[in-house]
Structure 1
């Protein structure tokens, strides 16, 4: 139970109000944008002193987005979907800057290209920028917002390249303590620290990697950034075999830095694809391994409007559906002042809706809008029964697909009869209510491409079997050419490569899937049924999933499973790199430099007979010694394991406490994030709220999910909504102090 803060934040007496921003990365850029845009709210005679602390000195960007980072690392979002300032979609965010002063990253790049001619800035709206380019833009925008703040005679801004290690609190105010011993008094602190990584000695998996490396005399790299220092030639040269623990975005950055970043080149080959030309400075080999044995899947080319108007809105997976599930099947949490909403079980209550939404969107993308209504109507009785809790219990995660699959069977049987000529389109139309001709032409476009449609249309017009026009054609997007195929499967979606007997067969299966996955991605998020389902549900409807999961929306046991399993599915399905980046990974596999033969559930272990540390693939029989072991995984926030001392010290002093999901069944789960009030103030160890401190972003992981995101324009983005929540409290304090 928490108790409200009764003292509030202190009001300045005859001096400027002292605001400290701890962390000078992207969220500091967004906060400075809003602060400078609203600085005229500073009353007559009032002063404001702002201090920004950034340990790297990379103000505006921070370490993860540093302009000096490897040139081989890319964003996994297109330039037109990244911004730096509030816009009209964010309620209560005014006053807004003129449009020219709040460019998207794409618009910023176009301006920079016009002034420099540098090819890295020569980007179209749908292109994927290099990450250092985003860092340059962040720094530039931070500088512009800083200058805007300083124009006000009552505002002063100081930048400190220093690491904050403690925030001391007393009745008289706060003190920001830096690693060099400096102490800065503050009336209010905004924590914007972003992402860190775990101290290997403070986490079980980190200790295991470190001890295995030490056994075999291998170099252990606990965190690969900054890569020019952590992965330099002096640490892993051409003679070394590098083990890369992880196959997500950090691992991809690591692999490209060790290859292309060492002077290797990727050249196009006739037809499609790339070939790798080594420089000789690469490591002798790179062994990539993870629990799944797979890299994140390629992000599809974006064919949706950048303003969000084309995002999938959800037919079955909606906020209202989650509310109905809570009311009808949720587990009640016992009362008192800490009474919560009924909790759900993700796998039993939410996953069936996720799978239904993916399958429905998959088939509507494959068959077209003409098939949407009959498919929706067929599944609706079971869907409504599921929401009410009256569908037969224990039916399983696919319980809502039975009627949908039957409806798809009927649609494709009709289409197949028209294709083969056993019925004319007119005869088929007399049997069904949906538009046979439109659905067949849509299916043709999706599977065979737009150039096949006129030939099929010609056959239909002459009542000839359209199959005649399609014989011998292949699908340019690697879809199955049988109209009864291309079925949705949750198992295939999350585990597209099954167990294989031997490393070589697993490598070949991974390579085949990655080629198919890239072709799906090139078809885009509105035309390819597989990518539309993943992108439309796990990205466009991420807020609905968060609504079901966040703030103890799941039981403690279910949240643990969600974070360990389904958050990883999200990362693979919808948070991967661009197709052109994954084409480079494929080229490295083809070259033999990158080895993915370890397969699922691979691990490192000490090999007693050789005295080496090896990567061991239990399902493929893979064993290979490594000389360097890189932990290339993104670590969940946990102050108990963090390599930096700030949050450990705040936890020890009782200034913050960990968020706890306590369920009615008596099980507790503490993911690692901090417990915060609705206005993002930390709850102290004694249950009181420290309203003089506000925490935004990653440290609230656990109670909230999907927090690693750059600001997106025209989408009422949560990053800016959170910033505005802080800003409203900030101005409320100053205006109350002014009387």
Structure 2
């Protein structure tokens, strides 16, 4: 293995005249690691040829890449638990044969345990449900990448070179592709795998960004258009102690920024009253970090994961692929060039999403048997909706009516107005005792549930005890409370009364503390968290099934991308409880100012020559010394800071994907036009089979493209790699003039059907 750029060409024939297949992997991050793992595991398929691989990574951090760098700040965390991150293919991944021995394909948790036994480093002393620091994931990726490269290098018929440079162009030279790096070197290749990951937008390439960047340049105000790497963009020289920082965004990137500027500057968190953290400043942090976003609230806390295996993940009762197919048949619209009929997300799919959320919410609150009763009450209206009947989109009303009846009965029992036996005699369609026991356990906790069992035959004693039960969960102690409310779920903090910055900030603090209690209750026992996790995480694949590949009309697709990925990120893709406890402590301390509220924006003040963070709904206006854009932008080649995809488009090797509607409307969300095998479609409409593109560049046609491999789930990240691998080996065998091993191809074809 060599990290070098001294080999400008590949020799066409290999040793002893054996033909060489030249593979270039552009991007050396997680997907490159997974690709090399499968390449090394199946390298016997090289057959009579030789394989020469070059991996290009502009940062030189092979295996991890920039985002997962092992050198990044220790204050950034993954938002997955240790056991939920894989490093190689496992038994659940269709077509992944041969597999490595279990000890050669650890999960991140197993890798950490192995490394902790050797080093004793506390950051590696993790349980399966702990949330690892992001740099630990980067170290694991780099280590596994090196192992896979060494495995290939040990073969007499394979060679791997690592090129620490940025690829800026790929030229079609007829018989081969020419990979061009920023230092002017050219590398011929037969096949190219593009796994470049996320890259930021260049602010100068959009009207809005150009306005901000030009103001900053004109007045020499520090402006950070992309936060990473934090240790460079937000060093003490760039954001000195005591300054004020404006942070545009309140998602995961903003959380990284805030912790880097506080804990990363030497601040500490200590336990305070009521087990709440207290922040102790070091004096090296900014005086204030003004955080603002369209929603005006941080991403919600990820709940403790009590789903220990795939069998515990929620399976849709109403939101299923079969339901999507029925909607397409009844109300879908045929579109040119589409094999499926297009839907409108808000009109056709959101009602089913909300029904599923409400059902999960109330099943969590009242128990599985009562949940089946609720499903039966909701089903007639749901079936009519799938058949195309107009219901004004309100599928939840029958379910809510049933909840009203349940709440009335349980309230009477808890108040001593009706005995449990009498209530059970009147109600035979759902289990009163079971629903009551579940509600008490969820709302009041295990101690109250244990006490309840001894009071069921004494209505007066039960009423007296129930009035004294604590509410450690932060839920409403009324049975008629804790209702599912989509509007409040999306916007939990009201601004209807036009609160000032201080009142709004107090509401944010109160919600964050409540949200932490809900998260600590877990994704199986808190109704709010169960509904969000069960639908927007466990059933994310069903939503993708409805949306991807032009599944929505162009106007609806535009609306979906503008609105619902944000909802998904806030509801189901937030930070760990221990991370959000830190952010909450910083909000309480006043170092993080959240008073700007929804629709916050940054305006340049020509009079003062500085930026102001404006809160139009709260009246907030805060001057800041440094402005940070703490948002991750979707893929868009026209706005990308890196020139590669613009160069490919200019050469006609790629084109944007366009969603075409039946009425002639079209929407181009930004991602590339790719075949089912992830080959880009050229400007002339023909597939460029020598190129394969995985990851963010497919955004638009596909949704929810996360990069970290999930073990034990037949995860789509590895399935994409396996699809590429099959096409790559088939091309190799054609190039070297021999058939490939039939059993691999047959297995892959059979499992893709």
**Shorter-chain-normalised TM-score: which range?**
over 0.9
Asked whether the 8 Å contact 1:247–1:288 carries over to 2, the reply is yes
In structure 2, the residue matched to 1:564 is 562
Tell me the distance in 1 between the aligned counterparts of 2:18 and 2:117. Answer: 48
Deviation string 1:480-517 (CA, Å, 9 cap, x unpaired) is 11111100000011100010420000000000000000
Alignment of 1:98-109 (within 5 A): 98-109=101-112
Alignment of 1:410-559 (within 5 A): 410-433=405-428, 434-462=430-458, 464=460, 466-499=462-495, 500-559=498-557
Deviation at 1:216, TM superposition (A): 4.9
In structure 1, the residue matched to 2:691 is 693
What SS does the aligned partner of 1:459 have? Answer: coil
Query: Quick one: which of 154, 157, 176 aligns to 1:151?
Result: 154
Alignment of 1:393-412 (within 5 A): 395-396=392-393, 399-412=394-407
Asked whether the 8 Å contact 1:209–1:629 carries over to 2, the reply is no
Deviation at 1:473, TM superposition (A): 2.3
Tell me the distance in 2 between the aligned counterparts of 1:73 and 1:203. Answer: 29
Deviation at 1:455, TM superposition (A): 1.0
Q: Quick check: 1:142 aligned with 2:142? A: no
Tell me the distance in 2 between the aligned counterparts of 1:688 and 1:471. Answer: 71
Q: Quick check: 1:205 aligned with 2:201? A: no
Query: Quick one: which of 667, 670, 675 aligns to 1:669?
Result: 667
In structure 1, the residue matched to 2:226 is 223
Q: Quick check: 1:127 aligned with 2:130? A: yes
Alignment of 1:272-671 (within 5 A): 272-305=275-308, 307-334=309-336, 338-392=337-391, 395-396=392-393, 399-433=394-428, 434-462=430-458, 464=460, 466-499=462-495, 500-671=498-669
What SS does the aligned partner of 2:645 have? Answer: helix
Query: Quick one: which of 73, 78, 81 aligns to 1:78?
Result: 81
Deviation at 1:472, TM superposition (A): 2.2
Tell me the distance in 2 between the aligned counterparts of 1:47 and 1:549. Answer: 42
Deviation at 1:611, TM superposition (A): 3.5
Tell me the distance in 1 between the aligned counterparts of 2:217 and 2:365. Answer: 52
Tell me the distance in 1 between the aligned counterparts of 2:13 and 2:25. Answer: 18
Asked whether the 8 Å contact 2:303–2:521 carries over to 1, the reply is yes
What SS does the aligned partner of 1:343 have? Answer: coil
In structure 2, the residue matched to 1:27 is 31
What SS does the aligned partner of 2:275 have? Answer: coil
Q: Quick check: 1:180 aligned with 2:159? A: no
Tell me the distance in 2 between the aligned counterparts of 1:422 and 1:216. Answer: 72
In structure 2, the residue matched to 1:89 is 92
What SS does the aligned partner of 2:180 have? Answer: strand
What SS does the aligned partner of 2:25 have? Answer: strand
In structure 2, the residue matched to 1:5 is none
In structure 2, the residue matched to 1:51 is 54
Tell me the distance in 2 between the aligned counterparts of 1:638 and 1:711. Answer: 24
Mean CA deviation greater in 203-212 or 716-725: 203-212
Deviation at 1:11, TM superposition (A): 11
Tell me the distance in 1 between the aligned counterparts of 2:509 and 2:131. Answer: 23
Mean CA deviation greater in 452-461 or 479-488: 452-461
What SS does the aligned partner of 1:466 have? Answer: helix
Tell me the distance in 2 between the aligned counterparts of 1:64 and 1:339. Answer: 36
Mean CA deviation greater in 139-148 or 485-494: 139-148
Asked whether the 8 Å contact 1:11–1:733 carries over to 2, the reply is no
Alignment root-mean-square deviation, CA: 1.4
What SS does the aligned partner of 2:273 have? Answer: coil
In structure 2, the residue matched to 1:3 is none
Query: Quick one: which of 52, 63, 78 aligns to 1:60?
Result: 63
Deviation at 1:424, TM superposition (A): 1.2
Could you tell me which runs of 5 or more consecutive residues in structure 1 were left unpaired when the two chains were aligned. Answer: 1-9
Asked whether the 8 Å contact 2:30–2:707 carries over to 1, the reply is no
Could you tell me which runs of 5 or more consecutive residues in structure 2 were left unpaired when the two chains were aligned. Answer: 1-11, 739-753
Tell me the distance in 2 between the aligned counterparts of 1:468 and 1:151. Answer: 75
- TM-score, length-normalised on structure 2? 0.94
Tell me the distance in 1 between the aligned counterparts of 2:553 and 2:455. Answer: 57
Deviation at 1:462, TM superposition (A): 4.1
Deviation at 1:153, TM superposition (A): 1.4
Deviation string 1:661-699 (CA, Å, 9 cap, x unpaired) is 111122211111000011000000111110000001110
Given the superposition, is the C-alpha separation of residues 93 and 275 from structure 1 closer, same or farther in structure 2, using an over 3 Å criterion? same
Asked whether the 8 Å contact 2:241–2:285 carries over to 1, the reply is yes
What SS does the aligned partner of 2:187 have? Answer: strand
Tell me the distance in 2 between the aligned counterparts of 1:230 and 1:612. Answer: 19
Deviation at 1:465, TM superposition (A): 5.0
Tell me the distance in 2 between the aligned counterparts of 1:208 and 1:465. Answer: 68
What SS does the aligned partner of 1:156 have? Answer: strand
Tell me the distance in 1 between the aligned counterparts of 2:220 and 2:178. Answer: 44
What SS does the aligned partner of 1:158 have? Answer: strand
Mean CA deviation greater in 200-209 or 33-42: 200-209
Given the superposition, is the C-alpha separation of residues 11 and 598 from structure 1 closer, same or farther in structure 2, using an over 3 Å criterion? farther
Asked whether the 8 Å contact 1:418–1:465 carries over to 2, the reply is no
Asked whether the 8 Å contact 2:414–2:466 carries over to 1, the reply is no
In structure 2, the residue matched to 1:704 is 702
What SS does the aligned partner of 1:157 have? Answer: strand
Deviation at 1:240, TM superposition (A): 1.8
Deviation string 1:24-48 (CA, Å, 9 cap, x unpaired) is 00000000010001011121x3100
Deviation string 1:285-340 (CA, Å, 9 cap, x unpaired) is 111111111110000000001x3111001100000000100111011114xxx243
Asked whether the 8 Å contact 1:681–1:695 carries over to 2, the reply is yes
